[in-house]
Amino acid sequence: MSDLAKLQQQFMDLLQGESSDISDQIAQQGQLNTQQRLSIYQNAYKIRLRAVVEQDHEQLGIYLGDDLFEMMVDGYLALYPSTHTSLRIFADKLPDYLATNTPFNDYPILADIAKFERLLLSAFDASDKTLLNVSELESIEPQQWPNLLLKLHPSVQLVAFNTLAVESWQAIKEKQTPPEPIASEPRFWVIARDIDRRTQYLSVDEQEHRLLNLLKQNTPFAQLCQSCLNELPGEQIAGFLITKINQWLERGWLINE
Amino acid sequence: MTNRFLGFGLGLRAPHFEQIIAEKPAVDWFEIISENYFVAGGKPWHYLNKIRSDYPIVMHGVSMSIGSTDAINKDYLNQLKNTIARVEPQWVSDHLCFTQVGGINSHDLLPMPYTNEALEHLANKISQVQDYLGREMIFENVSSYLTYNASQMSEWEFLAQLHKQTGCKFLMDVNNVYVSARNHDFNAMDYLSAIPSTAIAQIHLAGHQDFGTHIIDTHDEDVPDAVWDLYAQYAKTLGPVSTMIERDDNIGSLDDLITELEHAKTLVKPFWDIRA
């Protein structure tokens, strides 16, 4: 290992809180001693990454309170140091961390709130696509419909929670007391940008959630119809789906591709 | 690459997007943080596309880690290359420092030792990166809070040598020079005078926090008088150089930043042939 590589590794070891000989490399000068000079970098490292988690997960931070938030940041930073050049990615594994590490995994709502906040970010900066409009949909020949592949906008994120994560997130944002965390039945959500590029979230029923998931998996229209056979009489299915598709069009969830 | 004088610019920050689009303020150009646009789409690109139709844009990165002994990060360079293709900037800059070691990113601008080994390493890395991107890069001096025993020359001798060996040009952050001069007790003009004026492609002006015993480069305050004074002194030694106010935190109103920019113009007007 070259001298330069060794010095850089020692510096990174210091930031990571590992044993490091970097202080032997630092020149004595001025009014600050070596430890004070190194502490500036150690503090900046943690402050910067903590700020990223705080910014990405503002409501989670309030839900946790200061002490647990600090514990979470310390634990996350130790297990998942940043390996990406973009800070946008840094906290991507936070939901996994909360779901698998004590004491946070005793409270499944924490991982769910974190997941919800990450999906908001994913919707916010997903790629732009040309939206499908009604006239384009109407111009599709009847014989093409069975094999029609409707495409969801890249911002459309689908998630189901067994907790009241979204309701709690919303309550915290509105400075209200969050509800009890566990839901009596699963909650299904769509998170997406609207036609004005605002990030929105919407509660949907299990059937609509399943249909949207099928679209994500490039399922043709005929199979969407089949998937509704257990829930609707055959003659109502096409009409039901056309209504849904029109709603999705209005929300900007379908693209012309 | 010529040192095109773009005039007086600002760092483009999200809180100002809508005002810039609506009012088209008298700012000559904007600098974006490259990595903020390493996302596929949404509002960041929506606003940038509108603003770049009215203003020249330059790109400024924080994660190239040109000084790192890690191999060049081709994923990063591909993202940068794609972003350059979308933005079509006037030029692209990053920092003379290391941020990543062994695949771990510090997200901090860590200072290099000023050694012959580091000089050779940087010269090779700059050449590799410029070849990969197919364009020249500009590199900014970072502020620092420590120096290494291993250093064989001063920071300004190091930069001058790097320019001599590679021809690379610099984004001179006058605040960073001031911060390091205070933290390491050297004369800031000794530093600035040592770098050929033809090597300076851009200037940053920013604020910091002064703790008495040392200064932290925070970019969250107005440009202080001492930095204005240094800028004015430095400007006497240069031809017109594209200058901008860089505010990264505690971002105030656009109007306040434009007032600071006007002050920069006033300071250099006696020395630079610029139209008001």
CATH of the domain at A219: 3.90.930.50
Q: State how far residue B145 is from chain A, nearest Cα, in angstroms.
A: 6
d(CA B270, CA B276): 12
CB contact under 8 A, B43 and A124: yes
Residue A226 has pLDDT above 60, yes or no: yes
A190-to-A155, A246, B250 alpha-carbon distances in Å: 10, 16, 34
Instruction: Let me know: does B182 contact B214? Beta carbons within 8 Å.
Output: yes
Q: What is the pLDDT of residues B75-90, one digit of tens each?
A: 999 999 999 999 999 9
Instruction: Let me know: does A221 contact A146? Beta carbons within 8 Å.
Output: yes
pLDDT reported for residue B276: 53
B265 versus A230: the higher-pLDDT residue is B265
Q: What is the pLDDT of residues A37-84, one digit of tens each?
A: 999 999 999 999 999 999 999 999 999 999 999 999 999 999 999 999
Q: Cβ of A32 under 8 Å from any chain B Cβ?
A: yes
Instruction: Let me know: does A98 contact A71? Beta carbons within 8 Å.
Output: no
Of B45, B115, B216, the CB nearest to A128: B45
**Domain, as residue range, for A140:** 127-257
Strand intervals (E) in chain B: 8-11, 29-33, 57-60, 92-95, 98-101, 104-110, 138-140, 169-173, 200-205, 209-210, 215-216, 243-245
State the first-to-last Cα distance of chain B, in angstroms, to the nearest integer: 26
Among B21, B106, B155, the strongest candidate for a mutation testing the A interface, having the largest count of A CBs within 10 A, is B106
Pairing of strands B138-140, B169-173: parallel
- Tell me, yes or no, whether A86 lies in a domain: no
Query: Mean of the pLDDT values across residues B242-252?
Result: 92
Q: Cβ of B121 under 8 Å from any chain A Cβ?
A: yes
Instruction: Let me know: does B95 contact B66? Beta carbons within 8 Å.
Output: yes
- Tell me, yes or no, whether B58 lies in a domain: yes
- Tell me, yes or no, whether A255 lies in a domain: yes
The average confidence (pLDDT) of chain A is: 95
Query: Mean of the pLDDT values across residues B168-176?
Result: 97
- Tell me, yes or no, whether B156 lies in a domain: yes
Query: Mean of the pLDDT values across residues B105-112?
Result: 97
Q: What is the pLDDT of residues A205-214, one digit of tens each?
A: 999 999 999 9
Q: What is the pLDDT of residues A12-29, one digit of tens each?
A: 999 999 999 999 999 999
Q: Chain B residues with CB inside 8 Å of A32's CB?
A: 145, 183, 213-214
CA angle B53, B86, B76 (to 5 degrees): 140
Most distant CA pair in chain B, distance:
53
Q: pLDDT exceeding 70 applies to what percent of chain A? A: 100
- Tell me, yes or no, whether A147 lies in a domain: yes
Residue B248 buriedness (CB in 10 A; 0-12 / 13-18 / 19+): middle
Residues in A 7-26 with any Cβ partner in B closer than 8 A: 7-9, 11-12, 15-16, 24-26
- Tell me, yes or no, whether A83 lies in a domain: no
Which residue type is seen at A59? Q
The total domain count for chain B is 1
**Domain, as residue range, for B246:** 8-268
Residue B220 has pLDDT above 90, yes or no: no
- Tell me, yes or no, whether A194 lies in a domain: yes
pLDDT reported for residue B275: 67
Q: Return phi, psi of residue B200, to 5°.
A: -100, 115
Q: Cβ of A211 under 8 Å from any chain B Cβ?
A: no
Q: Cβ of B38 under 8 Å from any chain A Cβ?
A: yes
Q: What is the DSSP letter of A133?
A: -
- Tell me, yes or no, whether A46 lies in a domain: no
Q: What is the pLDDT of residues A162-192, one digit of tens each?
A: 999 999 999 999 999 999 998 889 999 999 9
**H or E stretch including B164?**
helix B155-166
- Tell me, yes or no, whether B274 lies in a domain: no
Among A6, A7, A157, A255, the strongest candidate for a mutation testing the B interface, having the largest count of B CBs within 10 A, is A7
Pairing of strands B215-216, B209-210: antiparallel
d(CA A176, CA B99): 41
Inter-axis angle of helices B116-133 and B155-166, nearest 10: 40
CATH of the domain at B166: 3.20.20.150
For A40, the token pair is: 């500036």
Of B40, B43, B184, the CB nearest to A29: B184
Q: State how far residue A95 is from chain B, nearest Cα, in angstroms.
A: 20
pLDDT reported for residue B218: 86
Q: Chain B residues with CB inside 8 Å of A124's CB?
A: 42-43
Say how many C-beta atoms besides its own lie within 10 A of residue B160's C-beta.
Answer: 18
Query: Mean of the pLDDT values across residues A214-242?
Result: 93
Q: What is the pLDDT of residues B25-66, one digit of tens each?
A: 999 999 999 999 999 999 999 999 999 999 999 999 999 999
- Tell me, yes or no, whether A132 lies in a domain: yes
- Tell me, yes or no, whether B2 lies in a domain: no
pLDDT reported for residue B1: 55
Query: Mean of the pLDDT values across residues A107-128?
Result: 97
- Tell me, yes or no, whether A213 lies in a domain: yes
Q: What is the pLDDT of residues A147-166, one digit of tens each?
A: 999 999 999 999 999 999 99
Range A185-188, long-range pairs (CB < 8 A, 24+ positions): A186/A160, A186/A161, A186/A162, A187/A160, A187/A161, A187/A162, A187/A163, A188/A158, A188/A159, A188/A160
The total domain count for chain A is 1
Query: Residue B118: closest CA among chain A residues belongs to which residue?
Result: A4
Q: State how far residue A168 is from chain B, nearest Cα, in angstroms.
A: 26
